Amino acid sequence: MPPKPLVDLAKIDMNQIVADQHGVCKINPHRDEFQQLHGILFIDRENEIIVGFRDVRDDEFWVRGHIPGRPIFPGVLMIETAAQLVSYYVVSKDAGRGFLGFGGVDDVKFRGTVEPGQRLVMVGKLLENRPRRCVGATQAFVDEQWSGGRGPARLREPRMVYEGLITGMWI
């Protein structure tokens, strides 16, 4: 059974983009194929919560070879999306500290698949922010109604597809 979501996604406006891909690039240095975080939907500094997204497309480099005939978004790219979300939150909070590198990942569970055409919504909560490192809890969700209306809107909860702890190190 998946854990409780870090935030109630029903209260997040999935159409209100706080920072688009260009805005993400102002904080995170990732570019081209390695920019996994496409936008920010919500930031709550008081509770140290951030919600971002990644639109999974069918023309990406991994689609042809990661399960031919049934492309599945690689788990390692979900982890990288989570790392970029935590990085965006911490660096935008502590501007001027430099680059926050990927320091580790713990307690990862993949709970479902993500396919081209879906929007992966990534949630993060900062748990620890020390001088040398930070740790964020992360979760990812998909729901057909976020993916351009592929099918009728449903009254069920979004499906959790990933969870894990991300450690960032100041470099």
The residues carrying an active-site annotation are: 66
Q: Which residues pair with 129 in a beta bridge?
A: 134
